[in-house]
Amino acid sequence: MRFRLALALSAAVIVSAQAFPQTQTQPVPQPQVVPAPQPEPVPPPAPPPPEQTPVPAPQPVVEPPPPAPAPVPAPPPTTEPATLSRAASGAYDRRDSLPAVNVYLPEGQASIRLRKLIKNVLFESQIDYRFVNGAISTFLRYKYYATNFTYRLGIFDQIDFRRTSGDFERVRGGLLLFELPRDYDNRYYWLVQDDRLTFGNVENPDNRKNNIYTKVGYQFGTQFDERMNSIVGESRGRIVPVLTAFRDLGPQKFSFAAAVTESARVGTGDYRYTKVEAEALKRFDPTATTFFVSRLHLGFFPTKGRVSPPPVPTDLDGDGVIDPVPAYAFFTVPQYELFGLGGREALQSIKDDVNTEGTHEVHETNEYFVPIFRNRDFNTFGAHWNTVYGVAYAGAGSVGFDYRSVGKANNTVVDAGLGFESAVTVREYDVILNVLYAHTVHAPDGLKGGTFRFYIRTSR
């Protein structure tokens, strides 16, 4: 009964739903209520005012996309470390010698130098040998190139028989040299060095003494001029040519170097003195093919102590005769620090020995170069002669142990000479050959005379 009643009710509901379909659907929003955004004259996509079109949204500002980080000047292909100047590296490449040989006559000396640049470090070894008397010197150097400075560590051992026969002088030591360049042509130096002196004659007052000193110097010109380098830095083991045509003279054809050395009795130091040295070099070009090089050098000791008690005369050369005490022996200055008026770095006609040394010195040399031929290729027995200059030389100077003695006419030496300087190529080697004969025009007795000087240098 209940079941039938449920069926009847269900049927009634279905019938009524079909009979009044609109009533139930009415609530559905008629298209009229929500005036469907009639495709009312869809205002033509309001074309942006003509003026705005060119300004594509804030794109202009962004447009110049940060210029692809301007290819940061890509560090040039680093064939050498970035901290080493290309100029310095190139110069050392030119001077890399495997080996470089220098021969000096009539001194009878040969110098062999090996050097290698590895990244920022220059390694160098050198042997100097005097085959006439057996004197020998050895040098080991380590030079590091940083961005704003370089420093060099060096050790050396030098045995010299030049001064007195039957005796020798041995100097062993080490040094630390800083070079502080302001630019390519201007640089400052600071040196600290310790020299240990030993003599064959144990009675020598300088035997087993130490010379500890520091040096401050300034150089203008190229850093590869070894004469100038010896003034501001390491004084031993440099290349010493006879003439100057192939030297690097620096900008404006001018070079200058000056230094002050101070030795003191600090630590194991046994000497006390102050040394001042300077040199200027200038080239003039009278014509398009000839040139003139003038060089002025001076040096003096503003302060120097005296040996106490003073030395007494002894037999210095072993001939059984008492010799007078050399003037330098009265001062607290080692002999190798004295200035020399003779030799390759001074007046060419006189020798570099005890008689031409002092604590005060000045000299000037002048060289006039005239080309015999240039940039040619004359082949002689496998040697290609490229350039030859004829040279006229003149010099003058004086030396002593005080200011007054330097100014005396009887201490003055004047000399002159003739020679030539040439560049030759032998296989893969470049060879520089100097030949000069110089003779005194005016000189104290004992210094008069003349001499031939030869210099041969090879580089690869």
Assess whether pLDDT exceeds 90 at residue 368: yes
pLDDT bin (cut points 50, 70, 90) of residue 93 is very low
pLDDT at position 47: 53
CA distance 213 to 272: 9
- How is residue 330 annotated by DSSP? G
In the predicted model, what is the mean pLDDT of residues 43-63?
50
CATH code of the domain occupying 94-459: 2.40.160.50
Q: Name the residue with higher pLDDT: 50 or 307.
A: 307
Assess whether pLDDT exceeds 80 at residue 17: no
pLDDT at position 200: 83
Percent pLDDT > 90 in the chain is 42
Report which secondary-structure segment, H or E, holds 414.
strand 412-426
Q: How far lies 119's CA from each of 30, 90, 433, in Å?
A: 89, 13, 32
pTM above 0.85, yes or no: no
Q: How many C-beta neighbours within 10 Å does residue 285 have?
A: 11
Q: What is the largest CA-CA distance in the chain?
A: 168
Is the Cβ–Cβ distance between 269 and 212 less than 8 Å? yes
Model confidence over 99-127: pLDDT tens digits? 788 888 888 889 998 989 998 899 999 99
Q: Where exactly are the structural domains of the chain?
A: 94-459
Per DSSP, the three-state class of 360 is: strand
Average pLDDT, the chain: 80
Model confidence over 237-283: pLDDT tens digits? 887 877 775 566 766 789 999 999 999 988 888 999 999 999 999 99
> Residue 227 corresponds to which tokens in the numbers above?
């004469």
Which contacts (CB < 8 Å, 24+ apart) does range 94-99 have? Answer: 94/459, 95/224, 95/459, 96/460, 97/458, 97/459, 97/460, 98/460
Is the Cβ–Cβ distance between 122 and 145 less than 8 Å? yes
Query: Taking Cα atoms as reference points, which of 341, 371, 374 lies closest to residue 358?
Result: 341
Q: CB neighbours of 415 closer than 8 A, spacing ≥ 6? A: 347, 348, 349, 350, 394, 395, 396, 438, 439, 440, 441, 443, 450
Q: 166: burial class by Cβ within 10 Å (0-12, 13-18, 19+)? A: exposed
CA distance 230 to 340: 14
> Residue 296 corresponds to which tokens in the numbers above?
């002025």
Model confidence over 141-184: pLDDT tens digits? 999 999 899 999 999 999 987 655 557 889 999 999 999 999 98
| Strand pairing class (291-304; 273-284) | antiparallel
Q: How many C-beta neighbours within 10 Å does residue 70 have?
A: 7
State the first-to-last Cα distance of the chain, in angstroms, to the nearest integer: 130
pLDDT bin (cut points 50, 70, 90) of residue 133 is confident
Residue 259 CB-half CA count within 13 A = 23
pLDDT bin (cut points 50, 70, 90) of residue 65 is low
In the predicted model, what is the mean pLDDT of residues 347-362?
91
CA distance 154 to 140: 6
Lowest-confidence range among 196-205, 288-297, 382-391, 417-426?
196-205
Strand partners, 160: 169
Model confidence over 178-215: pLDDT tens digits? 999 999 889 999 999 999 999 887 777 788 999 999 99
In the predicted model, what is the mean pLDDT of residues 414-426?
93
Query: Taking Cα atoms as reference points, which of 253, 251, 258, 261 lies closest to residue 229?
Result: 258
pLDDT at position 201: 77
Is the Cβ–Cβ distance between 20 and 14 less than 8 Å? no
